[in-house]
Structure 1
C-alpha cells in the first residue's frame, strides 16, 4: 500500500511542529515507512509541492523559476514558424498546467494554438503558425515571469464595488451600486453599432472598467451582466478574434491597475437599471468640425480643456463629460474651476445661459 503526498497546517510554529510529530508517529504506528528524502517535518512557510511554490508569507501559489526557465527554453526551441503538432502541444500543455497559479489567462492566451493543434491529422504533422498564435507564443515568452500569481485561499470576501453593465443598439452603460452611483454612458460609433450584441455587451464591461479605473484601483469588483457569453469570454476567451481582443484588453486593464474582477450572469429582469441607462439617447452628442476647431484654436491660443464633450468627440485630451466615460476628467462640469484652463466651450443649447 502506498500513501499519496499530503501536508498539514496550524496557526503557529509550535502547533505545527506538534502536528508534524503526531503525523510521523501515527504513520510509524500504522506500519508505514516514511521516505525521509522526500519528507519535510520541520515547519516552514514556503515549500515546493506538486510542481508549485506554496508561499504562506505572500499567500500565493507560484511557479518555480526552474519550471519557468524550462518553459521558455521550449518556446525558444521553436526555431521556425512551422513546428509540429507535438511541439506546440508541449507548449500549450505547460500553459494549461499553469492555471492553478496564473488563472484564466492560461485559457484566454492559448486558444489560437489549441485551435491549430486540433486541426492537425497526426502528432508529427507540421503546423503553419498564424499571426494570432505567434502573438500568444510571444506573450508567454515575454510575460510568463511577470503575471501575478493567484491567492492560495479562495476569496470569500465581499466585493469592494458592485457594477451592473448593459448595452443597447446605440449605447453602452454601466453603474456602481452605491448611495451616489456613478453612471457610465457611451454612445456607439457607427462602426460599433454594426457589431454583434455579444461584442457590444463585452465592450460595455471594458468601457465601464476603463471609465471608473481610478475608483476600482486595487479593488475587488463584482460585475453583473445579462449576457452569458460575456461571462464565458472574460473567463476563458473566445475563438472570435474581435471578442478575444476585448477579453485580453479587460485582462490587461485589470493587471495594470491591480483590479480583481468576478463576473456573474443575472436575468434581464434583474438588470433593468443598466438596461434603462443603455437606452438613453444623448441628443447633445455632436461636435464642431476639426477645421473650425483648428481655426479657433489658432485664433485664441491652445485650448487645454474641452468642457462639454465625451470620449467620442473630445478635441483635447483633458475634457469633462455629462456621464462617466473613458478618459474623462470628471462629470458635472459646473463643479470645477474653469479658470484653471483655456476652455473650449460648446455647450448644449439648454446650458448656454448657465455657461456665460
Structure 2
C-alpha cells in the first residue's frame, strides 16, 4: 500500500499501521487525503474514524510527537514529557537511595520513547552512566546509594532536571550558519576547549580517576 501511494505521488510516512501524509497547500492536501481514504477502502482496510484525521491541519500529534508546520518544530507531546518528569521527580525525592527499577523507568523514557527524534544524540550521551549502572545490577530491586553533588549518576539526573523542558523542541529547518566556532582536545589526564571570536573563552578540566577508566581509547 505504501509503495502504491508513493507511486501515485503521495508524500507519506508509515510506522506499522500509523501513517502521516503531507503536501504544500490545503487543496492539494485535501485531494491527497481523499485519495488515501478511497485507496484504503478499496484495498479492504477498515478505517478507525475516531483515531484518523483526514481534514488537513498544520499541527497534530503523531507517534507521541507534536508536528507543527506553522512554526516548523517537532516536540514531544505534553503527556509523555510530564510522565518523564514524574519519573525523574520520584527519583530525586528519594536521593541518595534509589532503585534500579526507578532508574530503568526514567532512562527508558529518555532513550526508547519518542525523546530521541527531538533531543537527538543527547539522549544517549547523557544517560550512559545511568544505563551502565542499570546493566550491572543483579535485580530490579537493587538500590544505589549516590551523593547528589559528586556521583556521575547524579550529574546526569541533574542535567535532565535542568534541561528536559528546554530541549523539547527541534526545528524542521536547521540554521546551518555557525554561531560559535570551538576547538577542543582531550588527553589521558585532561581536556581543553577554546571558543573563537566570542571573547576567546578557554575551558579546561582534569579527569577524575573514574573518568580516566571510561575512556574508549
Structure 1 residue 124 and structure 2 residue 141: aligned? Answer: yes
In structure 2, the partner of 1:20 is 33
Q: Is the 8 A contact 1:120 1:127 kept in 2?
A: no
Structure 1 residue 103 and structure 2 residue 103: aligned? Answer: no
In structure 1, the partner of 2:196 is 211
In structure 2, the partner of 1:196 is 188
Gaps of 5+ in 1: 168-191, 216-238, 245-356
Q: Pick from 18, 25, 30: which aligns with 1:5?
A: 18
- Cα 1:139–1:166 shift into 2, 3 Å: closer
- Cα 1:240–1:13 shift into 2, 3 Å: farther
Segments of 4+ moved more than 6 angstroms: 161-164
The equivalences for 1:224-239 within 5 A come to: none
Cα displacement (A) at 1:42? 0.8
Equivalent position SS for 1:140: helix
Cα displacement (A) at 1:241? 3.6
Gaps of 5+ in 2: 1-15, 201-208
Q: Which has the higher strand share?
A: 2
Structure 1 residue 92 and structure 2 residue 107: aligned? Answer: yes
In structure 1, the partner of 2:7 is none
In structure 2, the partner of 1:188 is none
The equivalences for 1:31-70 within 5 A come to: 31-70=44-83
The equivalences for 1:1-356 within 5 A come to: 4-78=17-91, 79-96=94-111, 97=113, 98-129=115-146, 131-147=151-167, 149-152=169-172, 165=183, 195-196=187-188, 199-200=190-191, 203=192, 206-207=193-194, 210-213=195-198, 241=211
Cα displacement (A) at 1:53? 0.7
Equivalenced residues, count: 184
Q: Which has the higher helix share?
A: 1
- Cα 1:77–1:9 shift into 2, 3 Å: same
Distance between the aligned counterparts of 1:213 and 1:66, measured in 2?
Answer: 39
Equivalent position SS for 1:116: helix
Cα displacement (A) at 1:99? 1.3
TM-score, with length taken from structure 2: 0.72
Please give the per-residue CA displacement for 1:61-118, whole angstroms capped at 9, x wherever unaligned: 1011222211111112222422221210111111113111111221222122112112
Please give the per-residue CA displacement for 1:203-261, whole angstroms capped at 9, x wherever unaligned: 3xx31xx232389xxxxxxxxxxxxxxxxxxxxxxx9648x9xxxxxxxxxxxxxxxxx
Larger radius of gyration: 1
- Cα 1:121–1:141 shift into 2, 3 Å: same
Distance between the aligned counterparts of 1:212 and 1:140, measured in 2?
Answer: 30
TM-score, with length taken from structure 1: 0.46
Q: Is the 8 A contact 2:181 2:196 kept in 1?
A: no
Distance between the aligned counterparts of 2:89 and 2:159, measured in 1?
Answer: 13
